[in-house]
Amino acid sequence: MNRRTILRTLLAAAMLAALPVMPAFAAVDVAGVKYDDSITVGGQQLKLNGAGVRTKVIFKVYAAGLYLSEKKTTVPDVLAVPGPRRVAITMLREVPSDDFGKAFMEGLNANTSKEERNKILPQIMKFGEVFAQTPALKKGDQLSLDWTPNEGTQCYLNGKKLGDLMPDQAFYNAVLRIWLGDKPVDGSLKTALLGEK
């Protein structure tokens, strides 16, 4: 190896060493919203299963990410996965809480039977009270819906608890079906949350 080749090799190695190293848990960017590859809920590490945008007509309403203890690509597997879960929503525009609550109920009704809704009616009512606590969800607001086994579903708005714990896992699964059911609020968002491109 001649001197010129050695210098080129050393220069190339120095340039490679100077490149920034990507962290192991790089964030996924969805419409300007960053979703970490992993988070901790209930003391357990969860992985980002998928993330996408809820679009209504032509408007981007919110970005949503689904976190599970292990990645799943089918709805039955998502609903059956053990451990904590999180749906993380970041508003991309302001929505009155009445409109958000109405859309929630429409999605719930479209993806659950009357019998299922009757079983979780007290929790549906509690969830409705959550929306009554704030007049609007503003652009940039972060809403989290966490399921923790042996505790229940807890809502957070910008990191602060909203409402009471709702103990039934059937309620959390009914909420997940708003996005993942047979009649999801947004088909492309369902695909994205299931980790499909």
Q: What is the CATH number of the domain that holds 126?
A: 3.50.70.10
Q: Is 101 within the bounds of a domain?
A: yes
Q: Is 18 within the bounds of a domain?
A: no
pLDDT of residue 67: 98
pLDDT of residue 18: 42
Q: What are the distances in angstroms from CA 153 to CA 101, 119, 135, 194? A: 17, 16, 22, 21
Looking at the structure of the chain, the number of domains it has is 1
Would you say the C-alpha torsion 121, 126, 127, 132 has a positive or negative sign? positive
Locate the DSSP E strands across 57-197: 59-68, 85-91, 95-96, 136-137, 142-148, 152-157, 160-166
Q: Is 8 within the bounds of a domain?
A: no
Q: Is 38 within the bounds of a domain?
A: yes
The domain of 84 spans 23-193
Mean pLDDT, 10 residues at a time, the chain of 197 residues: 50 42 63 96 96 92 97 96 96 92 91 94 87 87 95 94 90 96 96 89
Q: Is 17 within the bounds of a domain?
A: no
Q: Is 9 within the bounds of a domain?
A: no
pLDDT of residue 59: 92
Q: Is 173 within the bounds of a domain?
A: yes
Closest CA to 47 of 67, 33, 27, 65: 67
pLDDT of residue 48: 97
CB-based contacts of 102: which residues, under 8 Å, 6+ apart? none
